[in-house]
Structure 1
Amino acid sequence: MIELEGLTKRYGEKVAVNNLTFAVRPGIITGFLGPNGAGKSTTMRMVLGLDRPTAGDVRIDGNHYDELKDPLKYIGALLDAKAVHGGRSAYHHLLCLAQANGIPAKRVHEVLDVVGLTAVAKKKAKGFSLGMGQRLGIAAALLGDPRILMFDEPVNGLDPEGIHWIRNLMKALAAQGRTVFVSSHLMSEMALTADHLVVIGQGRLLADTSMADFIAQNSRSYVRIRTPQREQLLDVLNEAGITVAGSGSEVLEVDGDKSERIGELAAQHQIVLHELSPQQASLEEAFMRLTAESVEYHAHGGQPAGQRQAQQEWGSEWRRG
């Protein structure tokens, strides 16, 4: 388990991490999300003792990182896949780490096989593609067979097969009861991988909740309906006390998850439905709404100022509502 309590990091006047308190628990995959500059990498570096906190505390299974006798056997991490001596082969890079941490050499062959690099084990790392470098970094994280795994952007540079592989690897590690903490900007992949989410913005904790609750709390759920008997259905819904939140020439929208009730009413009154589908925002949409005021770097892409202002005003109205 990774435990943070009041963790704070300042660089001069800049507060990179601001009083973070949360726990990363075993047996599940915890996603770590936030806009660029939110403080995710700084937080991970403090977990590993690479940066010293200005205030607060962070512990790994109850100990500070520098108190761990065999750190690679407690926690394995991928923070920067490029942190490899380019003149060393994949095998010798891992062997050096193993010898420095009292890990048997046979483990090097095991992790090379796990990440699919056995065929290029003797090739120098400087000739590796970005995806191969990621696999080598993951092999290093797995080297000590640790109970805790921490990955920063693990799918960066991987092809579709590689993304599928790392997703299943993380799920398998969590299923074994290990603690898995992963940071990524790829929302579609995080939605398929993470069970729990920790979201930060400008160094502050914004959410610490399950994936399902995060989407439900930061998005609008509604039922989309299409019917050729629009007016008749409107009357039926009104009589049943169901308010139509939005309507067009062909589509009706009802807030909440009332699809079963609407289907039953339509059947009772012999109303034909061409569509009756529950709708909910994606993880990306929920994330964008929650972090809208925490984004440090905005790119407008030539969008007219009036349109940007209208979108900002809509966002403010949504948050107030």
Structure 2
Amino acid sequence: MIEIEGLTKRYGEKVAVNNLTFTVRPGLVTGFLGPNGAGKSTTMRMILGLDRPTTGDVRIDGTRYDRLEDPLTYIGALLDAKAVHGGRSAYHHLLCLAQSNGIPASRVGEVLDTVGLKAVARRKAKNFSLGMGQRLGIAGALLGDPRILMFDEPVNGLDPEGIHWIRTLMQTLAAEGRTVFVSSHLMSEMAVTAEHLVVIGQGRLLADTSMADFIRRNSRSYVRVRTPQREQLLDALRTEGITPAGADDGALEVDGVRPEHLGELAARHGIVLHELSPRQASLEEAFMRLTAESVEYHAHTGPASSPPSGQWGAGWRKGS
């Protein structure tokens, strides 16, 4: 279990993490979401003792990271897959980690096999592809057989088979009762991997809830109805005090009414339905809605080759 209480990190005037308090519990995959610059990486670095909090506290199974003996046996992490000595082979990179944490050398071969790198164990890390580097980083996280796993963008560079593999691995680890904490910008993948979400924006906690509750609270749910007898259906809905919204294709969107009730209502009035489907926003849509005011870096559509009219100045030259 990871316990974070009142965690704050300042860099001069900049507040990167602002009074965060939450707990990452064992037995489920917890997703860690936030826009770029929200403070996710800084938070993960403080969990591992790589950055010192300005105020607040982090506990790994009740103990501060810097007081853990052989920390890889408590918590394994992938924060930066490139943080590997390029001149070392995958085997020797992991062997160094094992020897420094009191882990048997036999464990190196086991994790190389788990991540699918056994055949290239003696190849130098500098010759690895991005996906192979990710697998090596995951092997390092698994090396101490820890009860807590933390991954930052674990699917980065992986092909579809690799993405399916890491998803299954994280869910299996959680099912074994381990704590799994994963940060990712790939919402479609997070939606099918995580059961719980911690969402931050501009360093502050925005949500700490289940995946289902997060989507329900931050999105619009409705029933889409399509019929060739649109006016008759509108009249029937009005008699029930229901005011639908119109879709661009002529369908109706009804909020706050169960699809079963709408189907029964149509049947009573002899109305043929071509579609009756409940709709709910995706994780991405719910995330965008919640974090809209917390996005630090905004891109803008339109021509990128020139500034707004009348804005030619330092750094801009026509024709450059």
> Normalising by structure 1, what TM-score?
0.93
2:10 corresponds to: 10
2:205 corresponds to: 205
1:269, CA displacement in angstroms?
A: 2.1
> Normalising by structure 2, what TM-score?
0.93
For 1:124, give the aligned amino acid.
Answer: K
1:213, CA displacement in angstroms?
A: 0.8
1:266, CA displacement in angstroms?
A: 1.3
For 1:18, give the aligned amino acid.
Answer: N
1:257, CA displacement in angstroms?
A: 4.8
1:174 corresponds to: 174
Q: Matched residue of 1:62: which SS?
A: coil
What does residue range 1-321 of structure 1 map to in structure 2 within 5 Å? 1-246=1-246, 250-302=250-302
Question: Could you tell me the percent identity over the aligned residues?
Answer: 84
Q: Which moved more, 1:138-147 or 1:277-286?
A: 277-286
1:245, CA displacement in angstroms?
A: 3.0
**CA displacement 1:232-274 (0-9 Å, x = unmatched):** 1112112223221335672111013521110111122221101
For 1:169, give the aligned amino acid.
Answer: L
User: Following the alignment from structure 1 to structure 2, what is the Cα–Cα distance between the partners of residues 59 and 168?
Assistant: 27
- Per the alignment, do residues 214 and 257 of structure 1 end up closer, same or farther by CA in structure 2, a change over 3 Å counting? farther
User: Following the alignment from structure 1 to structure 2, what is the Cα–Cα distance between the partners of residues 274 and 226?
Assistant: 5
Tell me if structure 2 keeps the 8 A contact 1:153–1:185.
Answer: yes
Unpaired segments ≥5 residues, structure 1 = 305-321
**CA displacement 1:69-126 (0-9 Å, x = unmatched):** 1211110000000000000000010011001111011100100000000000010000
Tell me if structure 2 keeps the 8 A contact 1:257–1:278.
Answer: no
Q: Which moved more, 1:140-149 or 1:236-245?
A: 236-245
Tell me if structure 2 keeps the 8 A contact 1:227–1:273.
Answer: yes
Q: How many residues align?
A: 304
1:312 corresponds to: none
Tell me if structure 2 keeps the 8 A contact 1:228–1:250.
Answer: no
For 1:6, give the aligned amino acid.
Answer: G
Between structures 1 and 2, the one with greater helix share: 1
User: Following the alignment from structure 1 to structure 2, what is the Cα–Cα distance between the partners of residues 169 and 147?
Assistant: 14
- Per the alignment, do residues 191 and 249 of structure 1 end up closer, same or farther by CA in structure 2, a change over 3 Å counting? closer
- Per the alignment, do residues 257 and 189 of structure 1 end up closer, same or farther by CA in structure 2, a change over 3 Å counting? farther
1:49, CA displacement in angstroms?
A: 0.4
Q: Which runs of 4+ in 1 moved over 6 A?
A: none
- What RMSD over aligned residues (CA atoms) do the two structures have, in Å? 1.3
Q: Which moved more, 1:237-246 or 1:181-190?
A: 237-246
Q: Matched residue of 2:136: which SS?
A: helix
User: Following the alignment from structure 1 to structure 2, what is the Cα–Cα distance between the partners of residues 75 and 267?
Assistant: 58
Q: Matched residue of 1:191: which SS?
A: helix
2:308 corresponds to: none
For 1:24, give the aligned amino acid.
Answer: V
User: Following the alignment from structure 1 to structure 2, what is the Cα–Cα distance between the partners of residues 140 and 218?
Assistant: 36
